A and B are shown apart, each in its own frame.
Chain A
Amino acid sequence: MNTVYIPRDSSAISLGANLVAAAIAKEAESRNIPLNIIRNGSRGMFWLEPLVEVATSVGRIAYGPVTTDQVASLFDAGFLDGGQHALSLGPTEELPWMKHQERLTFARVGITDPVSLQDYLAHDGYKGLRNAIDMAPQDIVQQVTDSGLRGRGGAAFPTGIKWKTVLEAPAEQKYVVCNADEGDSGTFSDRMIMEGDPFVLIEGMTIAGIAVGATQGYIYVRSEYPHSIAALNLAIKSAYEAGYLGRGILGSRHDFYLEVRRAAGAYVCGEETALLESLEGKRGLVRFKPPLPAISGLFGKPTVINNVISLASVPIILDKGSVYYRDYGMGRSRGTLPIQLAGNIKHGGLVEKAFGVTLRELLYDYGGGSASGRPIKAVQVGGPLGAYLPESQFDTPLDYEEFGKLWAVLGHGGIVAFDDTVDMAHMARYAFEFCAVESCGKCTPCRIGSTRGVEVMDKIIAGTDPAKHIALVRDLGDTMLNGSLCALGGMTPYPVLSALNHFPEDFGISKKEQAA
């Protein structure tokens, strides 16, 4: 029987993948062709979605972007056997976008049926957990430390050190919490993992539980991601049924229970302590630190709290070893980063590469330049709290320290491109506005500073005494940077001040005045 792959990824669905899947099923039925349709994750080439792949004797052949009215002609062209058609793209793995990546965390995404445990196992799934089960907790933590894995959120804190703190904290009950509430614009790698390979996240969390002695895990998922929640719940159910979760995992002495909890649309809950408050059933107000969550986290117990990509990177480290993982990357940025190309970009999507690839390579070699065909004026990296970088900085390699030198952040590896029609004063105003909408309200610099920031930006945009008001924006930025309780208020000045520093003309002053 022929096998056809049509993604179930939200982005593919947003471009009609469900309709195409239905049309293909119907066409096959009317032609009496038995067909096995697998709803895989997306390969991450979103300009080609819906991307339909067929399994042939020479591997998978891709067609895309497919629309429902082209389905009959695909059958006519014999696409089930790889026949030629206007939408033919050739072997998927040979497409330049795919070929030059280094997919470790995303190794299975787009290839397997995300909710099939059998498929996961057939593609090296749960090998990491099998190794971890026989290891001493200290050794698991050591492996993660040696791999050089750092948190794929804002702070880039070494994951192994975090785990070690929880391991050494004595307590009756400990927790593993997955922060799947990363609501940064331009980032969708979390969503793609949860929808495209949920078992890898489940496996990573189970390994974390064994490593630190935690028996209960929670995945706190954005309410904006209904498809992710559905895929995770299906995968968790199969993992329980097959003994990969629950009491005595795979016959060992380790227990691990896992549950999905829905967030409710508050951006600040992507901050770890606000997230914990929310999980406890409270408003997502940021907590003072210390104590660190590793010492006193969920319900006051020691808690490992990591991002989706951090946890999903753990299984391959335990499968292939810390050295294998550490050998990718540069400097102190080890392993790979799933990079997301978004905004005004011709070829938007997900690229997983070792650290060290430059912005320019990503924007032009992978991204193909802007979608509008106009020059790319600025890119914002690392979400709404990340700095805007001008063209003169596009040769910066993706590396935490290199970005730090530019007063920028790499964060989640989300890159949003803007063409030359963008007004950077408007984007600076938006950064303040976003902070005002999303502030938890606990600290004054963030709560009040963001509102005042919008007002001052309005004056600058209206051309009212720009020099005076720009000085005020800088002063406000300084207060927010140094006085906020968490990164929401503390990093809002990044997009604001980087826009001002690199694009002063948009704020009504010349480069010369800016330098003065």
Chain B
Amino acid sequence: MHDQMARIQSHIESHQHMAGALMPLLHAIQDDLSYIPEECYGLIAKALNLSVAEVHGVVTFYHHFRTRPPGRHVLQVCRAESCQAMGCGALESHVKSSLGIDYHETTSDGSITLEPVYCLGNCACSPAIMLDDEIYGRVSPQQVESLLASARRDNP
């Protein structure tokens, strides 16, 4: 935790003088730590001359920001209309039952966090998913299954 706070402090120092610094700062923290620990709200608030409530309000407003560490891999399934037109409903049910979790949950072995996403901009290749930073188009339940199987295998 001590190391984490030191890293957060250095992100604060490199961002606090930007115009509209809070969003880029939160991104930097999450990129580094994979989430934004509540313990740092006070530090951020002080540096940017905000209240802790304002920082909390911003972190929780945006779907992208997390207040808890995710699993080692994050699977996003697109739920938008184009993907629905191509059967993402079946894909969602399959993934949920195969992982035994619902959206916003992490598998018990800590390997996969499942998130819904509203459009990956891959609408001509629906249904689409994103696993970590890799995007996949026209995915079948079988393909997701094999992607997830290999993701779960490379656990440390």
Residues of A at the B interface (CB closer than 8 Å) are: 10-11, 13-15, 46-47, 49, 183-188, 190-191, 222-226, 261-267, 278-284, 299, 340-345, 348-350, 371, 380, 384, 414, 416-419, 422, 427, 430, 434, 437-438, 440
Q: How many A-B residue pairs have CB under 8 A?
A: 146
Give A282 to B126 CA distance when docked, in angstroms. Answer: 33
Chain A's closest residue to B62 (CB) is A264
What are the 8 tightest A-B residue pairs by CB atom distance, in nearest-first order?
Answer: A348-B124, A281-B22, A185-B80, A342-B123, A14-B137, A264-B62, A343-B85, A265-B64
Other-chain contact of A261, B24, B61, B84 (Cβ < 8 Å): B24
CB distance from B144 to the nearest CB of A (A): 13
- Does the CB pair A224–B117 fall under 8 Å? yes
Residues of B at the A interface (CB closer than 8 Å) are: 19-24, 26-27, 48, 54, 57-58, 61-65, 80-86, 117-126, 128, 130, 133, 135-138
Enumerate chain B residues within 8 angstroms of A344, measured Cβ to Cβ: 85-86
Other-chain contact of A348, B62, B64, B125 (Cβ < 8 Å): B125
- Does the CB pair B61–A430 fall under 8 Å? no
- Does the CB pair B124–A416 fall under 8 Å? no
CB distance from B27 to the nearest CB of A (A): 5
Give A233 to B23 CA distance when docked, in angstroms. Answer: 17
A434 with B118, Cβ < 8 A, contacts A185-B82, A299-B19, A341-B124 known: yes
A15 with B138, Cβ < 8 A, contacts A264-B65, A281-B21, A342-B124 known: yes
A266 with B61, Cβ < 8 A, contacts A13-B135, A342-B124, A416-B123 known: yes
Enumerate chain A residues within 8 angstroms of B121, measured Cβ to Cβ: 10-11, 187-188, 190-191, 222, 224-225
CB distance from A53 to the nearest CB of B (A): 19
CB distance from B30 to the nearest CB of A (A): 9
A281 with B124, Cβ < 8 A, contacts A264-B26, A343-B81 known: no
- Does the CB pair A427–B81 fall under 8 Å? yes
- Does the CB pair B135–A14 fall under 8 Å? yes
Other-chain contact of A438, B57, B118, B128, B133 (Cβ < 8 Å): B118
- Does the CB pair A422–B118 fall under 8 Å? no
Chain B's closest residue to A388 (CB) is B81
- Does the CB pair A183–B119 fall under 8 Å? yes
- Does the CB pair B20–A262 fall under 8 Å? no
- Does the CB pair A416–B82 fall under 8 Å? yes
Chain B's closest residue to A49 (CB) is B125
CB distance from A404 to the nearest CB of B (A): 21
Give A10 to B120 CA distance when docked, in angstroms. Answer: 9
Give A442 to B82 CA distance when docked, in angstroms. Answer: 28
Give A371 to B23 CA distance when docked, in angstroms. Answer: 40
Give A15 to B125 CA distance when docked, in angstroms. Answer: 8
CB distance from A490 to the nearest CB of B (A): 19
- Does the CB pair B125–A46 fall under 8 Å? yes
CB distance from A224 to the nearest CB of B (A): 6
Give A350 to B135 CA distance when docked, in angstroms. Answer: 19
- Does the CB pair B48–A14 fall under 8 Å? no
Give A264 to B63 CA distance when docked, in angstroms. Answer: 7
Enumerate chain A residues within 8 angstroms of B130, measured Cβ to Cβ: 224
